[in-house]
Amino acid sequence: MNPKRKKKLILLSSMVVAVGIAVGLVLYALSENINLFYTPTQIAEGEAPVGQRIRAGGMVVDGSIKRATDSLMVQFAVTDYKHEVVVQYTGILPDLFREGQGIVTMGAMDAEGIFQASEVLAKHDENYMPPEVEEALKASGHQATAQQ
Amino acid sequence: MMFETFRTWFHRMGSPKWFYDITGRWIPWFGGIAALCLLVGTVWGLFFAPQDYQQGNSFRIIYIHVPAAILAQSIFFTMAIAGGIGLIWKMKVADMVAKSCAPIGATMTFIALFTGAVWGKPTWGAWWVWDARLTSMLILLFLYFGVIALQSAFDSKQSAARASAILSLVGVVNIPIIKYSVEWWNTLHQPATFTLTEKPAMPMEMWMPLLVMVIGFYCFFATVLMMRTRNEILEREKRTQWVQGLLSSQ
């Protein structure tokens, strides 16, 4: 490789590395803001702003879903297996919403510490399997998925 | 020895005529494999692969969505490498390859975003969320648009190639961000299902058609890239003797 090309190669590679480092630092500084949602632990530890609209994410706690008989209101708890947040939502839930499912919900904490949600999104994991496999797994006592 | 062979090959590829001739022989092969894989993969994935236990049939969008998203990133990488070679070795063919990559990559990114939105609505409950994966993918689309715009913003082919190569090289930083966005931050998008380095997160009868589709998409890209580059070569070399000879022989 002649010296001129070598110089150019070094110049270009250092440019890419420099831009990479700069972007990396910016993303690191912004990392809290890039997170789509706060976990229940972050909310419990006061990392999430109070009174503002935020997104909270976690797993729907088994047996925590309570539906109102006269409206579309539904109450459930989400957990990250350390802390729990109680969520109230009025509206239609996505198809994948179920106990044990990961969800992301948008809303704000009210005075009683209940998360008043205006939007609920279902999160799913990267595992796919046929229904028969899932049933077989369940029958053998394994959790089908470890989500999130 | 290996290095010497590679160097000869590299320099030969730099000759437009040689590139034109050899790719002319490769195109039927890549095109044939692409057509076969895409046909087999689509039929297999859409009709024979089992349903997902949670998502039912809507999970089948994976057979378009994932290959398109993989290609969107691979093509950007290819474009940046070709652009870098063009900058350093002043190789015209590399410039032409880089230029030919951009529209294909933009299309793949659009397909990935579009199928993702269609998939997101029934499963997540939203067409679009500003999470890190989706946003970085949208930035990739804008980077492609930037490269395409720069390619046609200059009168001189050399300045156009240089400007767009620099943008592609800077934009390449976005590729690892896309890849690791789902691990670095909390996102609605789930981590990767299709990896070659880890045990697949789906059973073989679901994974195999996906693999066939990914291979098909790569061969399709190779075919279209060679065809576009050949057109570009003919366009730019139209005054040379060998292109004139090609024209008069037909």
- Write out pLDDT tens, residues B29-47: 999 999 999 999 999 999 9
Tell me the residue range of the domain where B82 lies.
31-241
| Dihedral angle sign, alpha carbons of residues A32, B113, B79, B198 | positive
The residue length of chain A stands at: 148
Whether the CB of A25 is below 8 Å from some CB of chain B: the reply is no
Distance CA A102, CA A122 (A): 6
Same domain, A48 and A102: yes
- How many domains would you assign to chain B? 1
pTM (2 d.p.): 0.86
Same domain, A46 and A114: yes
Whether the CB of A43 is below 8 Å from some CB of chain B: the reply is no
Cβ–Cβ < 8 Å for A135, A106:
no
Distance from CA of A113 to the nearest CA of B (A): 23
Cα separation values, A146 from A61, A128, B43, Å:
14, 12, 31
A23/B88 CB distance under 8 A: no
Lowest mean pLDDT among A139-143, B33-37, B40-44, B121-125: A139-143
Tell me: pLDDT of A141 over 80.
Answer: no
B125/A93 CB distance under 8 A: yes
**Average pLDDT in the B133-160 region?**
93
Whether the CB of A130 is below 8 Å from some CB of chain B: the reply is yes
- CATH number of the domain at A43, please: 2.40.50.140
Same domain, A90 and A20: no
Same domain, A15 and A76: no
- Write out pLDDT tens, residues A91-135: 888 878 888 888 888 888 887 888 888 888 888 877 888 887 777
Same domain, A40 and A28: no
Question: Rounded mean pLDDT of chain B?
Answer: 91
Tell me: pLDDT of B149 over 70.
Answer: yes
| Band (A142; pLDDT cuts 50, 70, 90) | low
Same domain, A79 and A19: no
Interface predicted TM-score (ipTM) of this complex, two decimals: 0.74
The residue length of chain B stands at: 250
Only one residue has tokens 């006592």, namely A141
| Band (A147; pLDDT cuts 50, 70, 90) | very low
Within-domain flag for B26: no
Within-domain flag for A57: yes
- Tokens encoding A84: 């729990």
Whether the CB of B55 is below 8 Å from some CB of chain A: the reply is yes
Cα separation values, B13 from B7, B17, B76, B104, B151, Å:
10, 9, 20, 21, 22
CB < 8 Å to B88, chain A:
5, 8-9, 12
Same domain, A44 and A11: no
Within-domain flag for B157: yes
A81 marked as binding residue: no
Within-domain flag for B60: yes
CA neighbours within 13 Å on the CB side: how many for B223? 15
In terms of C-beta density within 10 A (0-12 exposed, 13-18 middle, 19 or more buried), how is residue B130 classed?
A: exposed
Tell me the residue range of the domain where A6 lies.
1-33
Same domain, A81 and A104: yes
| Band (A30; pLDDT cuts 50, 70, 90) | confident
Same domain, A54 and A81: yes
Same domain, A3 and A62: no
**Average pLDDT in the B126-143 region?**
92
Cβ–Cβ < 8 Å for B105, B144:
yes
- Write out pLDDT tens, residues A44-103: 887 777 778 888 888 898 888 888 888 888 999 998 888 888 999 988 888 788 888 888
- How many domains would you assign to chain A? 2
pLDDT at B56: 84
Burial A21-32 (b: 16+ CB within 10 A, else e): eeeeeebeeeee
Tell me: pLDDT of B57 over 70.
Answer: yes
